[in-house]
């Protein structure tokens, strides 16, 4: 029985992985002698030691297996961690890209705004330039129009003054002629002879350079008429206009030489016969004619008698 009990005890210890050495039933007895171990006890001890060693090895092996399997578990967990990191990186990259797109879009919008502002400013400046040019053109046209109107007004005034002066001169000449006599032959002596000769030449032709007796030019007729009373005159009208004493048109007498143009450079001459009339070789189409002073008012007159 003791042996069976010890064997049972050893089996239980092996299952619990505890190595124990069984004691003798007599171990509680004090003795100075070492108890002898029986063959059965030695076998049990050896068996227990071996079982303990095996148990220890088994435990160590289990621990080693557990330790070896842990890296495998860690390795199996790595893909999940990597996936999480990759997802975070992807999200961060997407956010960064979205931010970059936002900045780019904002920059493009700012550039578009600046371009629109520049275009608006250019359009405004161009419109202002056109308005200024139109205003300057209108001002220049107005100034030119005012100058033209002023010139036209001065020309009208000069024309009016010229007409008035001619009218006054005609009135003066008519008054002088009326006061002298109403007869064509009011002159006496030399003037009567002069006027008679001129009247006799009426209707004759006008020929340039002619001095009679069938044709005359203006200065040739005057020279021939004065030759009838013994007065020698220059041949051309320019010299005849300064041959005597200058007299006013309001103080004319029969026989005075009338001239057109300025004294010394007259281009036409005739003889005043009284009554506001003159006789002269007028032109190739008219010949020698009698005309009123109002027909063609002379510029001046000279008296040679």
DSSP string, 49-77: HHHHHHHHHHHHHHHHHHHHHHHHHHHHH
pLDDT beyond 70 at 263: yes
* Closest of 130, 282, 287 to residue 296, by C-alpha: 282
Confidence of residue 49 (pLDDT cuts 50, 70, 90): very low
Which residue's structure tokens are 């578009």? 112
Task: Tell me what pLDDT residue 106 has.
Answer: 78
CA 80, 81, 86, 88 dihedral sign is positive
Which residue's structure tokens are 């000279």? 302
Task: Tell me what pLDDT residue 299 has.
Answer: 95
Mean pLDDT calculated for residue range 52-73 = 47
Of 8-12, 109-113, 284-288, least confident by mean pLDDT is 8-12
The answer to the question of residue 137 being in a domain is no
The answer to the question of residue 55 being in a domain is yes
Phi-psi region of 30 (alpha: psi -120 to 50; beta: other; left: phi over 0): beta
**Phi–psi pair at 276, nearest 5 degrees:** 75, 25
pLDDT higher at 48 or 206: 206
Task: Tell me what pLDDT residue 158 has.
Answer: 57
The answer to the question of residue 139 being in a domain is no
Task: Tell me what pLDDT residue 8 has.
Answer: 45
Residue 189 belongs to a domain with what CATH number? 3.90.1720.10
Most trustworthy range by pLDDT among 37-41, 44-48, 91-95, 177-181: 91-95
Do 171 and 41 share a structural domain? no
Task: Tell me what pLDDT residue 80 has.
Answer: 59
Six token digits for residue 284:
């190739």
Do 47 and 165 share a structural domain? no
Do 163 and 69 share a structural domain? no
pLDDT higher at 188 or 234: 234
Which residue's structure tokens are 């027909």? 295
* Closest of 273, 267, 272, 278 to residue 302, by C-alpha: 272
Most trustworthy range by pLDDT among 23-37, 85-99, 191-205: 191-205
Six token digits for residue 291:
């005309």
pLDDT higher at 296 or 163: 296
Confidence of residue 10 (pLDDT cuts 50, 70, 90): very low
Of 118-127, 145-154, 163-172, least confident by mean pLDDT is 163-172
Task: Tell me what pLDDT residue 212 has.
Answer: 86
The answer to the question of residue 63 being in a domain is yes
Domain range enclosing 190 = 159-303
Overall domain count for the chain? 2
pLDDT beyond 60 at 54: no
The answer to the question of residue 131 being in a domain is no
Task: Tell me what pLDDT residue 91 has.
Answer: 78
Of 103-117, 177-191, 205-219, 245-259, least confident by mean pLDDT is 177-191
Task: Tell me what pLDDT residue 78 has.
Answer: 55
Confidence of residue 286 (pLDDT cuts 50, 70, 90): very high
Coil vs helix vs strand at 102: helix
Q: What gap in Å lies between CA 200 and CA 192, rounded to an integer?
A: 12
Task: Express as a percent the part of the chain with pLDDT over 70.
Answer: 59
The answer to the question of residue 32 being in a domain is no
The answer to the question of residue 31 being in a domain is no
Structural domain ending residue among the three candidates 48, 76, 104: 76
Of 52-61, 232-241, 246-255, 284-293, least confident by mean pLDDT is 52-61
Confidence of residue 154 (pLDDT cuts 50, 70, 90): low
Task: Tell me what pLDDT residue 294 has.
Answer: 92
b/e for 103-136, b at 16 or more Cβ within 10 A? eeeeeeeeeeeeeeeeeeeeeeeeeeeeeeeeee
CA 190, 193, 194, 195 dihedral sign is positive
The answer to the question of residue 274 being in a domain is yes
Type and span of the H or E element at 83:
helix 39-180
pTM above 0.75, yes or no: no
pLDDT higher at 150 or 137: 137
């Amino acid at each position: 029985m003791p042996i069976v009990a010890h064997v049972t005890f050893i089996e239980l210890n092996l299952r619990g992985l505890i190595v124990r050495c069984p004691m003798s039933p007599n171990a509680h007895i004090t003795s100075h002698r070492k108890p002898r171990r029986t063959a059965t006890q030695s076998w049990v001890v050896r068996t227990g030691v071996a079982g303990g060693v095996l148990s220890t090895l088994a435990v160590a092996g289990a621990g080693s297996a557990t330790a070896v399997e842990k890296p495998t578990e860690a390795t199996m967990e790595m893909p999940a961690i990597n996936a999480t990191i990759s997802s975070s990186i992807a999200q961060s990259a997407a956010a960064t890209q979205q931010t970059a797109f936002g900045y780019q879009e904002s920059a493009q919008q700012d550039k578009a705004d600046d371009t629109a502002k520049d275009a608006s400013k250019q359009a405004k400046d161009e419109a202002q330039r056109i308005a200024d040019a139109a205003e300057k053109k209108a001002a220049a046209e107005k100034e030119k129009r005012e100058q033209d109107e002023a010139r036209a007004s001065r020309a009208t005034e000069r024309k009016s003054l010229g007409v008035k002066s001619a009218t006054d001169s005609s009135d003066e000449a008519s008054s002088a002629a009326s006061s002298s006599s109403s007869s064509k032959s009011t002159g006496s002596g030399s003037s009567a002879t002069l006027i008679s000769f001129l009247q006799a030449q009426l209707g004759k032709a006008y020929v340039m350079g002619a001095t009679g007796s069938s044709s005359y030019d203006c200065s040739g007729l005057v020279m021939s008429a004065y030759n009838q009373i013994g007065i020698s005159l220059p041949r051309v009208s320019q010299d005849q206009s300064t041959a005597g004493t200058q007299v006013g048109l309001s103080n004319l007498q029969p026989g005075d030489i009338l001239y057109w143009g300025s004294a010394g450079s007259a281009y036409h001459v005739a003889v005043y016969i009284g009554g506001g009339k003159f006789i002269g070789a007028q032109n190739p189409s008219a010949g020698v004619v009698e005309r009123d002073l109002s027909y063609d008012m002379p510029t001046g007159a000279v008296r040679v008698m």
